[in-house]
Amino acid sequence: MTDQAPYPIGTPGQPWGDAERAEWRSLQTRQRSYETDVVRVIDSLRSRFDVVEYGRLDYAPDTYALLAIRSREWRDDLPSVLVTGGVHGYETSGVHGALRFVEQHADDYAGRVNLLVAPCISPWAYERIHRWNAHAVDPNRSFRDDSPAEESAALMRLVAPLRDRVRVHIDLHETTDTDETEFRPAKAARDGEDSVPGEIPDGFYLVGDSENPQPAFQQAVIAAVARVTHIAPADRNGQIIGSPVVAPGIINYPVRKLGLCAGVTSARYTTTTEVYPDSPRASSEQCNAAQAAAVCAAIDFALGQ
């Protein structure tokens, strides 16, 4: 990584302009189908849940309906749970883990919580297996007022009426080898910065909120996921992706300050999951199961408090 070649778009040290962003977008090709992989699964759930179209993306010539799954018997006296996935479209188990939770586990919570699940927040990026939206903007740094990402703005509009009534929000992500080989170099090139090599943790970990730490909650989720897949160890510096490990498999970020999806509500219990699908010790099936297990553990913990 120390001899990494310059990113093929742009001039080193100079942030991208419109021409560079257009060149980048021209190189992104559809590799899978949001309609087939996500919308059809959601449609199969309509007999059990309400489905809400909370926005529509227009990236000509493509348009995408943004869909959320909602408890049919919504009750104002019940705690509400928000599950989000696919903020980064390339993080596959975030999408399919959210859908797996609804398909296999959501009925277990009927009459106990209100569920709102947005399984694929960034469908253009899902199809192109990319981190950014079509404008080379990272939706997961864009959950803020006057958001530059319509994906983020649409979710915030959906959640706004419930913002202060959500008890649990779990945002499902992955950390992949391509973070290091593609996405970090691309970000450095886009922003006119040097690309600094890092390490990819081998295993599942959680990112909590440094301004609302909930260590018992985070540890309960880790304990449940450890029965499905392995937990990422700290590196030689006692860190995961540059942040201090505060408990096995747990780091914290200031999620609202960074504009992360995990900060879109006032929920007491929030976390971002990170699985590692490129590990020789984990399969895609394990990754999806780990995401669903994390959601169940998060809800179970909150209901027990």
Distances 283 to 32, 84, 139 between C-alpha atoms, Å: 19, 21, 27
The pLDDT value given to residue 4: 57
Task: Kindly tell me the burial class for residue 178, based on how many C-beta atoms sit within 10 Å of its own C-beta (0-12, 13-18, 19 or more).
Answer: middle
**Residue 39: how many CA atoms within 13 Å on its side-chain side?**
13
pLDDT (tens digit, 0 to 9) for every residue of the chain, 305 residues total?
A: 344 568 999 999 999 999 999 999 999 999 999 999 999 999 999 999 999 999 999 999 999 999 999 999 999 999 999 999 999 999 999 999 999 999 999 999 999 999 999 999 999 999 999 999 999 999 999 999 999 999 999 999 999 999 999 999 999 999 999 999 999 999 999 999 999 888 999 999 999 999 999 999 999 999 999 999 999 999 999 999 999 999 999 999 999 999 999 999 999 999 999 999 999 999 999 999 999 999 999 999 999 99
Residue with tokens 């188990």: 93
**Neighbour-count burial for 23-57, b at 16+ CB within 10 Å, e otherwise:** ebbeebeeeeebeebbbebbeebeeebeeeebbeb
What pTM was estimated for this model as a whole?
0.97
Which amino acid is present at 80? S
Are 291 and 245 in contact, with CB atoms under 8 Å apart?
no
- Taking the C-alpha atoms of residue 15 and residue 240, their distance in angstroms, rounded to an integer, is 28
Q: What does the radius of gyration of the chain's CA atoms come to, in whole angstroms?
A: 19
The pLDDT value given to residue 6: 83
Give 197-220 as a DSSP string: -----SSBEEEEETTS--HHHHHH
